[in-house]
Amino acid sequence: MAPTATAPSPLDRKIPTRRISLAQTVGELPHTFIGPDEVLLSHVIATFSAVIPDGEEYFVRTVRHFRDQITDPELKRDVAGFIGQEAVHGREHRELNDALDAIGYPTKKIEQLTDKGLRFRERVMSAHANLACTAALEHFTATFGSTILRDTEARESLGPLADFWAWHALEECEHKAVAFDVFRATGGTEKTRKRMMNFICATFIGGMSMQVLLGLLRDREFYSRAAIRKSIKVFRDSPFFTKALWRDLRDYNRDDFHPNDHQTDDLVAEWRETYFGEHGRLNEFLAGAS
């Protein structure tokens, strides 16, 4: 008798949509949720989370705009996977942002500002320029994401949110080339790609810094010399703010750069197994996949 073929699981796809609920597992967080001396880093992480839901909805809109122009069936599948993953990230970060807002971070306010700013950008810039912004920001998320997956110290520095961010980091690495490939496949130029990365470096880093500063000014825990000194030391020594990471970010402006030039296949394979393999640590939080 011929062996029965088993249908491949949707979880085995290159970019699977994992319907996971992780934010609800975070539980009650102390105000300085990253660690007792890490007021500044807690604000940076909270601000990062705050921009994600509306930021990723923007990513999806900018890619979806070109969906009908994509002819390559593999890229079409990748786009579907990208949209599915970003939708789950947005939902989970919105729930995390509710919890962070409840302990004194202005995450809900930042969500509103992010949405307004990005919708304005869509009105005044071309569709290709917006897609180039998405491709540039996806390089940011993949670069920070691969640091989280590769560096134990980086993961541990995220305290009780380590698995939450590492799951997101894994999926950012899985879909890191999608917006870039859509940009190229639909005629985006190298000039626009690089120009928008420079624009993002100024606006994203500038905007984030401003929001972190405003959050700190409202935070009484930051109002002591010792807290400021300790926070700045933790921040300066953080694996997320190194010259090597900055070099990886800026490599994007090299001629003929492609996201896959930065190898993350081994990391992706390792963390897929750790979180979603046969004995995966996060399987119990999955509702399914598609």
Structure tokens at 210: 């401003």
| 129-168 binders of Fe ion (CB under 5 A) | 141
Q: How many CA atoms lie within 13 A of 222 on its CB side?
A: 18
> Rounded to the nearest whole angstrom, what is the least distance from the CB of residue 232 to Fe ion in the complex?
29
> Rounded to the nearest whole angstrom, what is the least distance from the CB of residue 12 to Fe ion in the complex?
20
> Rounded to the nearest whole angstrom, what is the least distance from the CB of residue 30 to Fe ion in the complex?
26
How many residues line the site for Fe ion (CB under 5 A)? 3
Look at residues 134, 139, 153, 130 and name the one whose alpha carbon lies nearest to residue 247: 139
3-state class (DSSP) for residue 37 = coil
H/E segment holding residue 107: helix 107-124
> Rounded to the nearest whole angstrom, what is the least distance from the CB of residue 213 to Fe ion in the complex?
25
Q: What angle do CA 236, 111, 259 make, to 5 degrees?
A: 60
Binding segment for Fe ion among 18-26, 81-89, 147-155, 188-196 (CB under 5 A)?
81-89
Q: Measured at CB, which residue is nearest to Fe ion?
A: 89
Q: Are 65 and 132 in contact (CB under 8 A)?
A: no
Distance in angstroms (rounded) separating the CA atoms of residues 166 and 170: 6
> Rounded to the nearest whole angstrom, what is the least distance from the CB of residue 276 to Fe ion in the complex?
16
Q: Which of 18, 43, 89, 94 binds Fe ion (CB under 5 A)?
A: 89
- Residue where the block lists tokens 């202005």: 106
Q: Which is closer to Fe ion, CB of 57 or CB of 172?
A: 172
| 169-198 binders of Fe ion (CB under 5 A) | 172
Q: Which is closer to Fe ion, CB of 42 or CB of 134?
A: 134
Q: Which is closer to Fe ion, CB of 143 or CB of 238?
A: 143
Q: Are 14 and 174 in contact (CB under 8 A)?
A: yes
Using CB under 5 A, list all residues that contact Fe ion: 89, 141, 172
